[in-house]
Structure 1
Amino acid sequence: MIITGDDVNGICDLKASFHHTFEMKDLGSLSYFIGLKVISSDGSIYLSQAKYVSDFLAQARITDSHIESTPLEPNIWFTSMDDTVLDNPTFYQQLVGNLVYLTATRLDIAYSVHVLSQFLSTPRTIHYASVLRIIC
């Protein structure tokens, strides 16, 4: 459980109440949580998913990449009838799921991921190619 706020006394009281009722351990300040690195500095909180991205790229077996100016090709319109159906949609579904979580810190890909997530049940080769464009 993450407890956060600007009322230090209130947080201490809440933790004491929980500790009285439940067996728990205080792990101190938050630094890493479910793929998010949390850095507090000068009254601000910074989130990073660098390790998550590195692990994600390794899982996807992507070692080389090139930079695209946009996550999707401009003026592209997808339908459920484009190209051929992927033989095994599981890998596509995993990639899109990982990208959905990545949008927590990468808002620039949120729309593209949303569009491609609409084809999870029957992804086609053009959808897969577009996912790779986002990743690479």
Structure 2
Amino acid sequence: MKSLGLLRYFLGLEVSTSPYSFFMSRAKYAFDFLARAGLTDCQVASTPLAYDVRLIPYDDSLLNDPTLYCQLVGSLIYLYVTRPYIAYAVHIVSQFMADPRTSHHSVVLHILCYVKGTLLHGLHFSSHSCLTLSGYSDTDWVGDPTDRHSTTRFCFFLGDSFISWLSKKHTFVSRSSAESEYRALADSTSELLWLRRLLTDLGAPQPSFTALHYNS
């Protein structure tokens, strides 16, 4: 074993450090797969998804060759390790990997146009940030138009640093919006308790309660 010095680049992950913070991004990785899709000169999109997107499995015609679709979605899944704000959009398009259609491909291209406009974005961790844990949770009741399942979404901050996030569809149909909300809060609370235990093991225990905000 030998020391290779400060981490700068590893498996597409770019890390820049300073005495006060470090920043993680995947700008080169994102640019490379934009080039593979032929979108380096595309017009940028202002949001990862259009507001009224409701994808279904049998909309429009099948793609002649789904290989590029699967490659692009796989690249987006790897990208959102440093881009949590595209997690929900990637969660939507990744459900159609088996039989992608033209409408699904159009949404993937829209996400890529958004990535094009946010190439230099990433995760910033400040050494001056406080070590207080806080979380946010949300759900969309019967949000999937096909199976009527809801989707849990949550994220957690340690001070100003974004450290954990999830977008996951429920395995059961919720019979009311209240049931959907309780399921989302249960998932969020499970993550919260695990993070509190992890922070204790790392020497940053949380002496007081952790605020979990919910958008009802």
Task: Please classify the TM superposition score into its range, dividing by the shorter chain length.
Answer: 0.7 to 0.9
One-letter amino acid matched to 1:78: L
In structure 1, the partner of 2:107 is 130
Counting aligned pairs with the same residue, the percent is 51
- Does residue 112 (structure 1) correspond to residue 89 (structure 2)? The answer is yes
1:22-76: CA deviation from partner (whole Å, max 9, x where unpaired) = xx23212111111011111124221021111121112222231212222112122
In structure 2, the partner of 1:50 is 27
- Does residue 78 (structure 1) correspond to residue 55 (structure 2)? The answer is yes
How far, CA to CA, are the matches of 2:104 and 2:45 in structure 1?
16
Q: What SS does the aligned partner of 1:86 have?
A: coil
| Structure 1 residue 135 displacement after superposition | 0.6
One-letter amino acid matched to 2:26: Q
Q: Within 5 Å, which residues of 2 pair with 1:13-28?
A: 24-28=1-5
Looking at secondary structure, tell me which structure has more helix per residue: 1
Q: RMSD value over aligned CA atoms?
A: 1.2
How far, CA to CA, are the matches of 1:31 and 1:76 in structure 2?
38
Q: Which has the higher contact order (CA 8 A, sep 6+)?
A: 1
TM-score for both structures, normalised by structure 2 = 0.50
Contact 2:70-2:97 at 8 Å conserved across structures: yes
The number of equivalent residue pairs is 113
Q: What SS does the aligned partner of 1:126 have?
A: helix
Looking at secondary structure, tell me which structure has more strand per residue: 2
How far, CA to CA, are the matches of 1:61 and 1:67 in structure 2?
13
Q: Which runs of 5+ in 1 are unaligned?
A: 1-23
1:8-29: CA deviation from partner (whole Å, max 9, x where unpaired) = xxxxxxxxxxxxxxxx232121
| Structure 1 residue 115 displacement after superposition | 0.5
